[in-house]
Structure 1
Amino acid sequence: MKTISDRIFELLKERGMSQKEFAQRTGIAESSISDWKKKKTNPVSDKILIISEVLGVSPYYLLSGAEHRGERSRENMLYVISKDSELGILIETYQSLETGMQKKLQGYLEALADLNKSEE
């Protein structure tokens, strides 16, 4: 079974990208990238998004080796959201609320969505 680092090095080869260029574009130290190859280790999880972006593949592909394609694939049920983004802050705030308040907020959102539909 291929590891994440195996897929990264295959993608680098396919794209004709050197480890040095990859390091520059991702901001990952060349020594870390070399360790993935020599020591058969994988990148830390917080680097997966930038690696995926630089290599032009989805994080799902990088982690699993499978791409979400075609009608037989399952719908992607996950989002990757930065905690610093507006949506990330909204989610953090929502999670800090008590359950009753979360349910009220969900009700407000549903009412706003219905109102938005009726105005279209």
Structure 2
Amino acid sequence: MTGPVRVRPRLTRPPSEVDGVWTAEAEFEISPLEPVFAGHYPDLPIFPGVCLVECVHLAVRQVVPDSPATLGVVDSIRFHAPVFPHDVITVSLRWDGRGCAAQVDTVRGTAAVVRLGIGERSTA
């Protein structure tokens, strides 16, 4: 394990590819024993936003054949609602080879919308 979370994705909608664009869906059961909860709002633990981004990244790596091993660029993130211990999050993703767009949902609604680019962004 090298990332900030221990939880791993479980595919709920298998990957499908149309014209080079992959779509899929994965679930993550957020355990109250995740190390990131230690000291993160002890009276009201919240799964950190960076961990939601990591869940999207883990889903891409599991779903997309030959996906890059490392995250290169965070294009945008919008957090809508907190994720708590015992939540199940659903990551719906769309991958086009240059990056992915993902929505992260709980039973309460959308928790985050994330756009990730793979590779290094040019500074020129």
- Give TM class, smaller chain: under 0.3
Question: How high is the TM-score relative to the length of structure 1?
Answer: 0.23
Higher strand share: 2
Which protein shows a greater Rg? Answer: 1
Higher helix share: 1
- Greater RCO, 1 or 2 (C-alpha within 8 Å, sep 6+): 2
